[in-house]
């Protein structure tokens, strides 16, 4: 063995004297070989050429190394619901019945241009059926559109929101009578005057139960009721 190799083996075993000269840099870069002729550490074979990599040719790390690559882009908020299997038969025209007030939308809505599923509209008046509107389409979502439903509800029953007050000492009450609404939001909390919200929209009615833990807001449209309830 060469002198440089002997010094390297002595240095590994801790028997190198302090006065020994440092090993040249070109000797340090060489691969150390043990007395039996085998490599002590390191490998001349590159990682892509290893047998373990050649056996599982994936080029990936972590979980993907075991189960394969998976898409990283997901739509967690817009989950696609299962769809109805496609039926190659001709489309079936079904109808949905609405009160007569639905006719107020007029031909501008029912016969508008650019509809994916065109609507069929019939306004029926009879002694047996009464005043009803029949809306037909081959798609269920088209004949049960939210526009028609909101239009009918705005002119009949309206919309309502319930505010549930929960907690110890939380209570709402009239003092002495409407529209003077008071609310206590906890034990030891100061009473809050909510009269300004009761008089802000004259078409929105506010009701409070006897226990004071439920407030109901009722009004003609979603926008007006929701705006007042959010405040």
155-195 pLDDT, tens digit per residue, is: 999 999 999 999 899 999 999 888 999 999 888 889 999 99
Do 216 and 160 meet the contact criterion of CB atoms below 8 Å apart?
A: yes
pLDDT band at residue 83 using 50, 70 and 90 as cut-offs: confident
Strand arrangement of the beta sheet that strand 94-99 belongs to: 94-99, 130-137, 120-126
Q: How does DSSP classify residue 48? A: G
Q: Using alpha carbons, list the distances in angstroms from residue 7 to 22, 35, 196.
A: 9, 13, 93
This prediction's pTM: 0.53
Do 117 and 96 meet the contact criterion of CB atoms below 8 Å apart?
A: no
Per-residue model confidence (pLDDT) at position 22: 54
**Contacts (Cβ under 8 Å, ≥6 apart) of 152:** 98, 99, 101, 102
CA 33 to chain centre: 60
Overall average pLDDT of the 206-225 stretch: 93
pLDDT band at residue 72 using 50, 70 and 90 as cut-offs: low
Q: Using alpha carbons, list the distances in angstroms from residue 55 to 47, 49, 61, 64.
A: 12, 10, 15, 15
Reported as half-sphere exposure (CB side, CA atoms, 13 A), residue 189 has a value of 15
Per-residue model confidence (pLDDT) at position 81: 75
pLDDT band at residue 21 using 50, 70 and 90 as cut-offs: low
End-to-end distance of the chain based on CA atoms, in angstroms? 89
Query: Nearest to residue 103, comparing CAs of 165, 151, 34?
Result: 151
Judge whether residue 71 has pLDDT over 80: no
For the segment 27-51, what is each residue's pLDDT rounded down to a tens digit? Answer: 444 444 444 444 444 456 666 676 6
**Location of structure tokens 């002595």:** 10
Q: What is the mean pLDDT of the chain?
A: 80
Q: Which residues are 172's β-sheet partners?
A: 183
| Token pair for 217 | 């807001």
Phi, psi angle pair for 7, to nearest 5°: -65, -35
Judge whether residue 90 has pLDDT over 70: yes
For residue 222, the surrounding DSSP H or E stretch is helix 222-230
Q: What percentage of the chain carries pLDDT values higher than 70?
A: 67
Alpha helix positions (H), 45-116: 51-55, 64-67, 107-110
**Count of Cβ atoms closer than 10 Å to residue 89 Cβ:** 6
Residue 164 three-state SS? strand
Judge whether residue 207 has pLDDT over 90: yes
Per-residue model confidence (pLDDT) at position 42: 47
For the segment 98-155, what is each residue's pLDDT rounded down to a tens digit? Answer: 999 999 999 999 999 999 999 999 999 988 889 999 999 999 999 999 999 999 999 9
Q: Using alpha carbons, list the distances in angstroms from residue 50 to 60, 69, 215.
A: 14, 21, 72
């Amino acid at each position: 063995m060469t002198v440089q190799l002997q010094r390297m083996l002595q240095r590994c075993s801790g028997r190198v004297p302090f006065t020994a000269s440092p090993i040249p840099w070109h000797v340090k870069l060489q691969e150390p070989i043990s007395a039996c002729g085998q490599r002590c550490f390191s490998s001349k074979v590159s990682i892509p050429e290893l047998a373990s990599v050649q056996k599982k040719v994936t080029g990936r790390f972590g979980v993907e190394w075991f189960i394969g690559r998976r898409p990283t882009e997901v739509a967690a908020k817009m989950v696609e619901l299962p769809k109805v299997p496609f039926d190659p038969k001709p489309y079936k025209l079904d109808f949905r019945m609405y009160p007569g007030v639905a006719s107020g939308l007029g031909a501008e809505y029912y016969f508008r241009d650019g509809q994916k599923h065109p609507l069929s509209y019939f306004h029926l008046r009879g002694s047996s059926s009464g005043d009803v509107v029949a809306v037909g389409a081959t798609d269920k979502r088209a004949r049960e559109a939210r526009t028609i439903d909101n239009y009918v509800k705005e002119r009949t029953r309206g919309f309502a929101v319930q505010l549930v007050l929960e907690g110890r000492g939380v209570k709402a009450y009239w003092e002495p009578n409407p529209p003077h609404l008071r609310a206590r939001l906890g034990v030891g909390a100061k009473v809050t005057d909510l009269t300004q919200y009761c008089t802000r929209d004259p078409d929105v009615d506010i009701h409070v139960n006897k226990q004071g833990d439920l407030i109901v807001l009722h009004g003609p449209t979603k926008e007006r009721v929701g705006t007042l309830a959010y405040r």
